[in-house]
Chain A
Amino acid sequence: MTLGGRSFFPALVTAFIALTAGLLFLMPSLASAAYAVPSLVLAILIFARLRDANYSLIAAIAITAALFAQPQLLPVLARLDGPIWLALLIYAISASLADSVTSAGARTIITLGASLALLLAVDPSGVFLVVSIIPLLAVQPYLRRNSYEMMTFGILVLFVPVFTALLLSQFHVAPAAAVPLWPVFLARMNLVLPWPRATHSPLALFTAVAMIAPAALIPAIQSALRSRASTITAMLGLAIVAAFAASTAFGSRREVYWLAASLFPVAAVLLASLKPSPRREVTAITAASLSLAAGWIAWAL
């Protein structure tokens, strides 16, 4: 297996062993370590994107580790009933949206449309996020395209989610139920990290938003690092927060780590989209570290 011309099979095996060993004490059995596979896939995708963006090996590892070591994400990593798939889909959406700024080929369009469509089946906020994508497409004219091209791009991107919504409404598809391992995982995790009593509290919300806030501020503060892709990705982060708020307002009660699972892939893509510069790596690592610190400090409070 290669990515960007480099074989990452040894890294894949090493990472899988490390992740399995790290999560093993949380799992009731060795076989359940298979639940770590989706998380591992996402970690590899993020790492590969950072490396393709010419981040050094150390920087890519540091940023990926910082993004994954968030306390809000630990519940995401070993569940198969939603958050990790949401994280994977949001990664696909943010990566293809960032790629579409420079090249709106068929592959990018299909990835973006199909990810939005799958989101409808995975998460209640999916409908709101699909709707909130529309202003992001409309704002692109000032970035690159004329309004007619944006209309056609919008038709192509939204075609798949719209037909998927039609199909789902005919078959009444609902997100999957929680897997039985979840209570065991929670009980063991409580031994290491006391679970916050109120996962809907403003502090919990702060830790979720803190995953992306430092990264999102970089394009705003440092114009030398700002690129079209990073701008549109930061806007996507705002759209996700808005979609989560809208779904909550419409009665969807979920723990805040669902929002965290949505935002950390966007933070990764945003950091990978920053314009190459001598200060880029230091700035990106600082942003990821600030998110990590904010998350753990809020967790401890």
Chain B
Amino acid sequence: MPPLACGTCANIPLAAMFTLDYELWFGFLLPGLSRLGVPMPLGGTSNHFRTSVLREIKGWDPFNVTEDADLGIRLAQRGYRVATLDSTTFEEATSTPGNWTRQRSRWMKGYMQTWLVHMRDPAALVRHAGLHGFFAFQLFIGGAFFAALVNPLLWLLYLVTQIPGIGFGWAEFGEPLGAIALASLIGGNAVFTYAMMLGAVKRGWLHLVPCGLTSFFYWLFISAAAYRGLWQLFWQPFYWEKTTHGLARGASA
């Protein structure tokens, strides 16, 4: 699977953050998963399959709105490996808030579907993917939407503890837990913000590095999309919101 990169991200902040997001995912995380030999969610734009294998696993799940991510996990369940190639497929970054939200909420809904489907039989997942593959699945499929859902709740909790006179602070959690939470708040956000910026360095798109500093706000957008996806999971589980492409035709990185 070649990594995807956004070729249209010139002056639009949302598109720039989308580009950094892609670089984090396709430039760092997926190659790392490939190197570890754990189940890997495929990215949609360009993949290369052996036709016989595709027929064997009965192709894509038509009811999963991120059919590519699900396919990657099913390949791992059947004992097949997915690897990344040293080649890049460029695609257009979504640049309008509405288009971006529809796309991202579909992805979040799809990851929830993928997690739910493969966790119907966790023993089978452990059997086929191994323990390390099982944990990787929890982190990168389950963690993707879970982190987006809890992100605003945790920030809300932190803000509440900072209100003077509210009578609810770190002491209620106990010293070790409070220290871990504070370290996670600062360190966790710092690590992912840094990783977003480093993605731009890898591509030589240094003009995007300062955009990475706004990652905190971008993640709030992702959280909003995750809640929208969660809502749709209950009321419109198979509804596919198609992303509109070609909006920035002619723009370049």
Give A residues with C-beta under 8 Å from B. 104-106, 109-110, 148-149, 151-153, 155-156, 159-160, 163, 166-167, 170-171
Contacts and interface: CB of A to CB of B under 8 A. Distances in A.
A155 B186 contact: no
B187 A155 contact: no
Contacts of B197: 155-156, 159
Contacts of A171: 179, 182-183
A147 B182 CA distance: 36
Nearest to B187: A167
A170 B182 contact: yes
Contacts of A104: 201
A159 B190 contact: yes
B206 A109 contact: no
A159 B194 contact: yes
Interface stretch (B30-38, B108-116, B207-215, B228-236): B207-215
Contacts of A105: 201-202
B248 to A, nearest CB: 23
Given A163-B187, A170-B182, A170-B186, A155 B201 contact: no
B198 interface: yes
Contacts of A151: 210
A39 B29 CA distance: 35
B202 A155 contact: no
Q: Which 10 A-B pairs have the closest CB atoms?
A: A152-B209, A163-B190, A152-B206, A106-B198, A167-B186, A149-B206, A106-B201, A159-B194, A170-B182, A166-B186
Which of B183, B197, B207 has the most chain A CB within a 10 Å cutoff? B197
Contact of A148 (B187, B194, B206): B206
Interface residue tally of chain B, by bracket? 10 to 19
Nearest to A149: B206
Given A159-B197, A171-B183, 19 more contacts: A105-B202, A106-B198, A106-B202, A109-B198, A152-B206, A152-B209, A152-B210, A155-B209, A156-B194, A156-B197, A156-B198, A159-B190, A159-B193, A160-B190, A163-B186, A167-B186, A167-B187, A171-B179, A171-B182
B194 to A, nearest CB: 6
Contacts of A153: 206
A159 B202 CA distance: 17
Contacts of A167: 183, 186-187
B22 to A, nearest CB: 16
B196 to A, nearest CB: 11
Contacts of A170: 182, 186
Interface in B179-193: 179, 182-183, 186-187, 190, 193
Nearest to B195: A106
Contacts of B186: 163, 166-167, 170
13 contacts: A104-B201, A105-B201, A106-B202, A148-B207, A151-B210, A152-B209, A153-B206, A156-B194, A156-B209, A163-B187, A163-B190, A171-B179, A171-B183
Contacts of B206: 148-149, 152-153
Contacts of B194: 156, 159-160
A105 B203 CA distance: 10
Contacts of B210: 151-152, 155
Nearest to A162: B190
A104 B190 CA distance: 20
Nearest to B191: A163
A182 to B, nearest CB: 30
